[in-house]
Structure 1
């Protein structure tokens, strides 16, 4: 008994016996590709982080806009100094900073980002800042981690 008032009871059929195009989208291949990309990202993301591991102090200050890549000077928890990830002996620090200052463009000096571990002494940080000042590198920013502002 056909109760569809003269229409064909078959789903997806047009008049004349032709099949209508299927309106459903198969998302399984899309999900598979996205899962593969997620796995690739999860595996490679830890490898992209390079540098010297330090525990930075917190601050509520906003981040600065940088027109060019800054020079990064890091003092780790043992007091060892690194310039752009390269170990620098204490006796080599003044000549390296003078070399950096000599290569600077006077009109647009590069920003110096100074990172110091929370466990180092104030004197160790000031020793490096004094050498930066002596070399004429006065555009220095102290790097901190963001704070939630709960203090």
Structure 2
């Protein structure tokens, strides 16, 4: 049996076989998909207890309630528009401003809530939060 120089077995294959490359890429993709959630989970660390108080004490929050008829309560105390402006001015003058927690009745006219918000903004109060009920609590009440 003679082997000729022009047999098909001696030809050089000039094409790249893509199947092993695709297989490797799919395996790498699956490995990354499995390991990424593990890497992003936080590690539970039991922190030591400190006996010293923090250096900067955070001011308490102030609850401002707007009732259905538009009356305003400052920490459960009825205030007039002038008293509200004076108290907000005092909060704005503090170096560490207390955060305002605005609680408005769902039936109140938007104008009354907007008045309190605009007054706080004009006086330079930066922390104003809205207090709402979670949807599960609202749904269980109906």
The unaligned stretches of length 5 or more in structure 2 are 1-57
Instruction: Report the secondary structure of 1:128's partner residue.
Output: helix
Tell me the TM-score normalized by structure 1: 0.49
Tell me the TM-score normalized by structure 2: 0.51
Ranked by relative contact order (alpha carbons within 8 Å, sequence separation 6 or more), the top structure is: 1
How many residues are treated as equivalent by the alignment?
A: 81
Kindly provide the CA deviation profile for residues 84-121 of structure 1, in whole angstroms up to 9, marking residues without a partner as x.
Answer: 1111101222122101211342xxx3221000001111
Q: Mark the CA change 1:97 to 1:68 in structure 2 (over 3 Å): closer, same or farther.
A: closer
Contact 1:104–1:110 (Cα < 8 Å) also in 2: no
Q: Which has the higher helix share?
A: 2
Query: Does residue 83 in structure 1 map to residue 74 in structure 2?
Result: yes
Query: Does residue 122 in structure 1 map to residue 110 in structure 2?
Result: yes
Partner of 1:139: 127
CA distance in 2, matches of 1:119, 1:103: 33
Partner of 1:100: 91
Matches within 5 A, 1:1-150: 69-105=60-96, 109-148=97-136
The unaligned stretches of length 5 or more in structure 1 are 1-66
RMSD over aligned CA atoms reads 2.0
Kindly provide the CA deviation profile for residues 26-72 of structure 1, in whole angstroms up to 9, marking residues without a partner as x.
Answer: xxxxxxxxxxxxxxxxxxxxxxxxxxxxxxxxxxxxxxxxx653111
